[in-house]
Amino acid sequence: MASTSAGRRGTRRRAAAGLLVVPLLVAVGCSRSGEDAVAKGPGSGGGGPAATGTKDGKAPVGSGAPGDFGTLKDVCGKGDGKPLTKKADRGVTEKQISVSVTGDPNAPAQPGLGKEFFEMADGFTKWCNGLGGINGRTIKLTQRDAALSNVGTVMTAACQSDFMVVGGGNPFDNDGVKARTGCKLGAFPAYVVGEESAKADLQVLAVGLPTTTTVVGAYKAVFAARPEVKAKVGLLGQNMASLRPAMARYKAGVEAAGGTVVFKEDVPVMPPPGRTTLEKMKQAGVEMLITTWLAVDSASMFREMDAMNWHPKVIVSDASAYNRYTLASAKNSKIPDTYIYPTYVPQSLGDKNPAVQKALEILHLAEPSKDLEFFHMSGINSWLLWASAVKECGTELTTECVLAKGKRANWDAGGLFAPGPIVETKDVRASDCFTMVKATAKGFEYDAALTKPNKAEFFNCDPANVVAVAPGAPSAPPPSAPATTPPAGEATAPPATGDPGTGNPPPADGGEPPPAAPPEEVTS
């Protein structure tokens, strides 16, 4: 069993602040029922093939060799058994690599926040260790629960024993930067929130934090299919200093796509928007609503719409809305056509995409009844990138080597994500690729007609899908070959520009964490 670490104290200010950032972070933690399944696909009761992995991870999962993940070959396995040729970094022995995953499941303000990171980390560790580890070294996983306000504490704890922190994230990640970089702890986070954290040293971001570019392709797609909504767009955000710039970027994206914004409001962060705000939208004639509120349970907002007998014709959200709350609302309310534009292949296409099927089956090694959500996808993306880098470092398993190997000219997580480069923070650009997925009572349904895929079968990829919104924005990367894994020992230099990220806006101010009780740990 993986270990768990959690600080026990915080302040009311920090608990309330947790509510501020949750709408952008897919705060889900409760187990879902079959009726609220996130997506119908392999292993989810939607008619696809059942998972084939065993709970100890020893049986082959998905297609290909046991250690393959989509197009990534032999991610995990016994290797050649050669000993380390350099002095091992902290957390590395001849037989084991100690790593942590962070999240906030015990957050008082939002129980379960980031639990998906722990679930995917548990499943990935079981899968990989069941195959012999990475080059024969098994993963020793510690789950470190920051409970929102104790990020600095858990990073300090990780500094005592861990090689790296992988596949997780925290809303108040700025609070952990000083401790992590001070002890030279490398990181492959699943997402970053604070700009200080995004710009910190000693990390590789599988999903970056673009602040000078924004998406436009998804809006163009909706306007082309539903031209009647183009002149009546509303934006609904959160009234917090660090979140308002996100909605400003979305507004720029709408206008670059040819739309007209007739309503824009940053409302109090909790509870979800109510009658007063909805009446304003109705009076403004909003027909297409762009919002990040679908990242959490906004059922009350839809109930108010039902009571008013008024709904916008279309709702559009980023990938954070890929969760059970959105689908519960689709089932229980009269929600309008609701579209999400993730940069990964949705679970409903698992019968057509081996990487999706493998991701679901790896999750099922830890949580057999769950479906893939946004944080699961982000988590496994980082685990795959980290494991691939570790494998390539071979007998020179150092932080410096793994971070260098994590930089990729082209990365797609074995076909799970849209292809794109892994680059330095200054070169992060919103992804040129997207899919369009519709939320229905039956699940998230991929909309090929709206997506108009032109790359990797399911994605619409075009530099014109992204626009600059600030000086110094990176330009589009040059065309590249399909994503591949370079041979061990071969250097991989990143291109000058680009980013495969989802373009999530930056929530959360940082600040020093309050005093916290020593973390509890149970180590496997």
Q: Is 423:475 a contact under the CB 8 Å cutoff?
A: no
Cα angle 495-420-294, degrees, rounded to a multiple of 5: 135
DSSP 117-155: HHHHHHHHHHHHHHTT-BTTBEEEEEEEE-TTT-HHHHH
Residue 271 CB partners (closer than 8 Å, separation 6+): 300
Amino acid at 345: V
State the alpha helices, DSSP H only, in 27-183.
115-130, 151-159, 177-182
Bridge-partner residues for 315, per DSSP? 289, 338
Q: Which two tokens stand for residue 386?
A: 């980290």
Q: Does the pTM of the predicted model rise above 0.85? A: no
pLDDT for 29 equals 28
CB-based contacts of 241-248 (< 8 A; 24+ apart in sequence): 241/509, 242/194, 242/506, 242/507, 242/508, 242/509, 243/20, 243/21, 243/24, 243/505, 243/506, 243/507, 245/211, 245/505, 245/506, 246/24, 246/292, 246/505, 246/506, 246/507, 247/505, 248/469
Tell me, what's the pLDDT at 297? 82
Is residue 41 within 8 Å of 360, Cβ to Cβ? yes
Q: What is the dihedral of CA 307, 246, 372, 42, to 10 degrees?
A: 80
d(Cα 182, Cα 266) in Å, to the nearest integer?
A: 37
pLDDT < 50 positions in the chain: 1, 5-62, 481-524
8 Å CB contact between 243 and 267: no
* pLDDT given at position 480: 53
Domains detected in the chain: 55-210+349-427 (3.40.50.2300), 213-347+433-468 (3.40.50.2300)
Predicted confidence at residue 88, as pLDDT, reads 83
